[in-house]
Structure 1
């Protein structure tokens, strides 16, 4: 990972991390939408989800996002 860090500056890492977080949010939203369409979530569960405060993003979350975003940024070999 140290080699990857030397390739990306702080701005690049932030963009990649935010991109990964946005992708995760979209996947979560799509899964929630599918569950609602299938009536797989009860009203009580949905109310609990909506009333639960959004957790703050931690340094661990950013590191996790950077790790996954780096996989998309690596040059791919042509076979």
Structure 2
């Protein structure tokens, strides 16, 4: 079976603060909020909320990044008076 970019994790310690990554354990995107040692990162949902620890993360695919961007634009449009 061929591996895809969705299967490729990166070392959690290599993630930049504020970067949006995909938590492979929870199968959701999140913003990197901090590091714990070199084996995990603390993440928060893109829309805010409670933080969690992630052990396996990967960069978002272009499609996932576009989907998040469009969801944010749609939410901003809906919340206008």
- TM above 0.5, yes or no, is no
Q: Of the two, which has the highest radius of gyration?
A: 1
Higher-strand-fraction structure: 2
Higher-helix-fraction structure: 1
Higher relative contact order (CA 8 A, sep 6+): 1
